[in-house]
Amino acid sequence: MDKVEKQGRLYRMLWRWHFYAGIILLPFIIILSLTGMVYLFKPQIERAIDKPYHNLQLSGAIAPPSAQVAAALKTEPNAQLRHYEMPEFKNDAPRIYIFSKGKEYVVYVHPVTLQILKKVPKEGRFMQIARNIHGELLIGKKGSYIVEAAASWAIIMVVSGLYLWWPRNQKGLGGILYVRGGKNLWRDLHSVTGIYVSVFAMFFLLSGLPWTDVWGEGFKAVRRATHTMPERQDWTTSRKEEHNRLMEEMGHEGHELNAPYYNLSVDDLVAHAKLENLKYPIEIAPPNKKTKNWVLRSQSQNRTQRIEIEYDAKTGQELKRTPFAKRHIIDKVVGVAVAAHEGQLFGPINQLLGVLTALALSLMSVSAFKMWLSRKPNGILGAPPPIKDQKIGFGIAFLILFFALFLPVLGISLVIVALIETLILKRIAPVKNWLGIA
């Protein structure tokens, strides 16, 4: 087999992979792009939603934080304080996170009258819902696997798309670096947009892997084995892990800490926070079943600005200070990547790049669907024709193995697809012909 024939076989094979993956992934890419675009503007959206509780007209002395916490705790039976979030501005209502009966609530308290302005389950907040759609499609662990599979296959689509785009005996730059009109419009919109967005798309896909269920858990296992895992990782891999962390910290009913204990110390922690010049949002967390110290932390979405300070619960003495610069190099790399992924690393330009990437991926999905509709023959799916003998070279076998090991959900899905094709689809002639299976 000469070099030209090998290249032709590789092109057809990758074209089929690109086609089948695209047909399945298009709706998921659009969902992830749109919800991701929304999440880029989390600070602005949350401030707009909470506008009724900001810039309040205050008349009278502001109640101490301990009194605000006490008012919030009264809204639920046997409530515990998860953390007190300091208001960004003096006339804003504080957000107080409480735990009761296995659930976490966000309570907005008027800083002067102590009136409860709003109480909502944390899972019911708009940005939390957007995040859950983005990470789990609102269907829990199964949704998490689907999203991870979609992200894994999207990486393959980017790599295969670059190979298919690569110029071969083509005159001019039309359809390569700029979009032509006429009959080539949709094809060029797909391929030219793809080449410009590929680097950013690959970054967003790879930087999202630490949050995923399978890849993220595997990453943590490697970190534990290499003793690079911190006591508390700055990100979680699933809602289940978040819930488990919540239960570990807060315990169960009847094991909560004494509410007056909070009230004695939260005022002191607020005073400490005012001296630290931390980046908003600023959380003050009381001792819990897992951590016996008070914790003051910045939860800035630009994770390079985060810092965590622990204080002795009895003396108020500072015990530990962990700024971003003191974290392990792995946490720094992931932290920077996550901040960029969320659009918060370098301000509005970061958000703009995220929006353009999301819109470009959506445009590529629409243009791919349009091309498929215009080219699809009647009565069949219209997949690229298969290679007759289905043989692959060592290089392709190595690449498949590499991606299957690096992206475990991709590897598992390859096995599942192969079994379904061999055991079921190939045995049903109409389905086999419609799908274009060899």
Residues in a beta bridge with 98 = 81, 105
- Tell me, what's the pLDDT at 1? 56
Say whether both 265 and 330 belong to one domain. yes
Residue 158's closest CA among 27, 22, 28?
A: 22
300: its two tokens = 């800035």
How does DSSP classify residue 92? S
Say whether both 35 and 143 belong to one domain. yes
Is 401 domain-assigned? yes
Say whether both 33 and 135 belong to one domain. yes
Q: At what angle do helices 239-250 and 126-136 cross, to 10 degrees?
A: 130
Say whether both 29 and 155 belong to one domain. yes
- Tell me, what's the pLDDT at 153? 93
Answer with the one of 314, 341, 368 that is the final residue of a domain: 341
Give me the sheet containing 95-100, strands edge to edge. Answer: 116-121, 103-109, 95-100, 80-85, 282-285, 294-298, 307-311, 318-323
Say whether both 78 and 117 belong to one domain. yes
CA 114 to chain centre: 36
Say whether both 110 and 191 belong to one domain. no
Is 140 domain-assigned? yes
Q: How many residues does the chain have?
A: 438
Say whether both 277 and 261 belong to one domain. yes
- 96-117 residues labelled b (16+ CB within 10 A) or e (exposed): bbbbbeeebbbbbbbbbeeebe
Residue 56's closest CA among 109, 93, 107?
A: 93
Answer with the one of 282, 314, 341 that is the final residue of a domain: 341
User: How far apart are alpha carbons 424 and 24 in whole angstroms?
Assistant: 18
- 312-347 residues labelled b (16+ CB within 10 A) or e (exposed): ebeeeeeeeebebeebeebbeebbbbbbbbbbbbee
Q: Three-state SS for 327?
A: coil
| Cα 14-21-429 angle, rounded to 5 deg | 90
- Please state the φ and ψ torsions of residue 95, each to the nearest 5 degrees: -100, 120
Is 222 domain-assigned? no
User: How far apart are alpha carbons 318 and 327 in whole angstroms?
Assistant: 18
Q: Which H/E stretch holds residue 318? A: strand 318-323
Handedness of CA 168, 174, 179, 183 (dihedral sign): negative
Residue 184's closest CA among 433, 429, 375?
A: 375
- What separation in angstroms does the CA of 46 have from each of 59, 95, 124, 128? 26, 12, 13, 10
Say whether both 118 and 142 belong to one domain. no
Say whether both 164 and 299 belong to one domain. no
User: How far apart are alpha carbons 78 and 73 in whole angstroms?
Assistant: 8
Say whether both 267 and 196 belong to one domain. no
Is 218 domain-assigned? no
3-class DSSP string for 184-222 = HHHHHHHHHHHHHHHHHHHHHHHHCHHHCCHHHHHHHHH
| 20 class by beta-carbon count within 10 Å (0-12 exposed, 13-18 middle, 19+ buried) | middle
Q: Three-state SS for 296?
A: strand
45: its two tokens = 């959206």
Residues in a beta bridge with 81 = 98
Residue pair 342/302 in contact by the 8 Å Cβ criterion: no
Is 239 domain-assigned? no
CA 29 to chain centre: 13
- Tell me, what's the pLDDT at 13? 82
Residues in a beta bridge with 307 = 323
Is 138 domain-assigned? yes
For the chain, what is the domain count?
Answer: 2
Residues in a beta bridge with 313 = none
Q: Three-state SS for 284?
A: strand
Is 223 domain-assigned? no
Say whether both 285 and 153 belong to one domain. no
Mention every residue, 6+ apart, whose C-beta is less than 8 A from residue 17.
156, 160
- Tell me, what's the pLDDT at 212? 92
74: its two tokens = 């009264």
Domain housing 33 = 3-39+131-207+352-435
Is 147 domain-assigned? yes
- Please state the φ and ψ torsions of residue 288, each to the nearest 5 degrees: -140, -170
Residue ranges of E strands in 57-155: 80-85, 95-100, 103-109, 116-121
Answer with the one of 341, 361, 377 that is the final residue of a domain: 341
Residue pair 45/127 in contact by the 8 Å Cβ criterion: yes
Say whether both 363 and 310 belong to one domain. no
- Tell me, what's the pLDDT at 379? 85
Residue 133's closest CA among 249, 35, 203?
A: 35
Residue 245's closest CA among 220, 272, 218, 281?
A: 220
pLDDT tens-place values along the chain, 438 residues long: 566 667 777 788 888 889 888 888 899 999 999 999 999 999 999 999 999 999 999 988 999 999 999 999 999 999 999 999 999 998 999 999 999 988 999 999 999 999 999 999 999 999 999 999 999 998 888 999 999 999 999 999 999 999 888 887 777 788 888 898 888 899 999 999 999 999 999 999 999 999 999 999 999 999 999 999 988 888 888 888 888 888 888 875 444 444 444 545 799 899 999 999 899 999 999 998 888 889 999 999 999 999 999 998 888 889 999 999 999 999 999 999 999 999 999 999 999 999 999 999 999 999 999 999 888 888 888 888 877 766 666 777 888 889 899 999 999 998 998 899 888 888 888 888 888 886
